[in-house]
Amino acid sequence: MSFASPPTAEEISEAVARQHAYRQAEPQSQEAGEAVAQRIYGDWQVAHAQGREVPDLMSFVRDVAGSESVTREDRGEVRAFWSYMSQPEGAPEPIGHRYLAQACGSSRGFQVLEDTPAGSRLDSYQLWNDHVKDALVRDYGLDREAVQALAPEVWSKVSQRYAEAAQGPVVAFATDVAAFSVLGKDELPRLLAHEQVGKDNIKFPLPAPRHEHLPPEIDALIADDAMRAQVLMEDFDPEKSPKEFAARLGGVDVPERLRESHEAALSRLQLADSYEELNAKPAAPQRAAVNEFLPGVDVRPVARPAAPRGPTPLGHGVLNPAAALTLPPSMPEQQPAGMER
């Protein structure tokens, strides 16, 4: 099994169990939130007594994100990243990709941020939980806006450090990647610029979803791992213009093996003003008229002169089509204005 193989049935079951356990442990009352806030306060007091430069509780939490280890010593070099959730084939319910990463991390020896010393401690502080935030404001006199901003700040910091510590190939448990997510905003940009990672060493164990507003060829192009690491879901938003997607896609670092497909996609996107137009089927070519006098020879339609006024000439205007293939019609002395030759 490759390190980037999709999760097995056993790993999916493990991920579901982890998800249920985590949800049951989340603070769901004022008392539970106060207990977590009290534990954060106690950890800060210990750190302060040890001489760490953490003059207040919030500076202590920032110090955890900025200095504690982002590597678990009993795991290997491959680092797993994740974003959002999906329902893999065979799963009984949608699963947070964090739990799939942790389940595969346990069975395959991956590093997972939430399992490292820094990530595990921050995770236990439940800084996204409303009951915990309320307790920090109410019981410890912290500013509410500052508390609201603390979780995104520290998780952004620790995630950047985690990505920068990569030493080779990584796996990203995600389907589409959003620009505002930690993976899209903080981790992937660093992994793409990383000398030991780059676009060719970012693998996606989960299949890309089908985007119905995109033609299959373009959808297949951005489903390639090297492209998935660079193309965000906002880039091909169906509410935007294909030309906007073309502008973004034109700046992607494209693998040589995808150059031709990439150029074809850009050409199509640049010519369409909407995704309806992009997906419109070309009109079927008109079938050429059959020459009944010369079987197997097609006659191209030609413009016929306007019917003469007055009595119909003898022969009722019938021409020999075979003659039209070889001899030009006799020209009148004066060509009527606007008539095609």
Q: What is the pLDDT of residues 121-165, one digit of tens each?
A: 999 999 999 999 999 999 999 999 999 999 999 999 999 999 999
- DSSP code string of 87-107: --TT-SS-EEHHHHHHHHHHH
CA 278/CA 258 separation, integer angstroms: 21
Residue 294: its pLDDT value, please?
41
What are the angstrom distances between the C-alpha of 142 and each of 19, 58, 82, 139?
31, 9, 31, 8
Residue 315: its pLDDT value, please?
34
Domain ranges, ordered by start, for the chain: 9-207, 209-280
Tokens of 156: 């952004």
Instruction: Inform me whether the pLDDT recorded for 275 exceeds 50.
Output: yes
Residue 336: its pLDDT value, please?
36
Amino acid of residue 262: H
Of residues 304, 271, 268, 298, the one with CA closest to residue 286: 298
Instruction: Inform me whether the pLDDT recorded for 333 exceeds 60.
Output: no
CA 189/CA 229 separation, integer angstroms: 9
Of residues 74, 70, 149, the one with CA closest to residue 114: 70
CA 96/CA 110 separation, integer angstroms: 17
pLDDT (average), residues 23-51: 97
Average pLDDT score, the chain:
87
Partners of residue 86 on adjacent β-strands: 95
- CB atoms near residue 341 (< 10 Å): 8
Residue 109: its pLDDT value, please?
96
Query: Is the backbone of residue 90 left (phi > 0), alpha (psi -120 to 50) or beta?
Result: left
- H helices of the chain, in order, are 9-25, 30-49, 57-67, 97-108, 117-124, 130-140, 144-164, 182, 188-193, 216-222, 225-228, 242-249, 259-270, 275-279, 321-326
CA 60/CA 83 separation, integer angstroms: 26
pLDDT (average), residues 205-231: 97
pLDDT (average), residues 36-54: 96
Window from 128-142, 254-268, 319-333 with minimum mean pLDDT: 319-333
Residue 2: its pLDDT value, please?
84
E strand or H helix that includes residue 170: strand 170-173
Window from 80-89, 190-199, 288-297 with minimum mean pLDDT: 288-297
Which residue matches tokens 């019609």?
Answer: 329
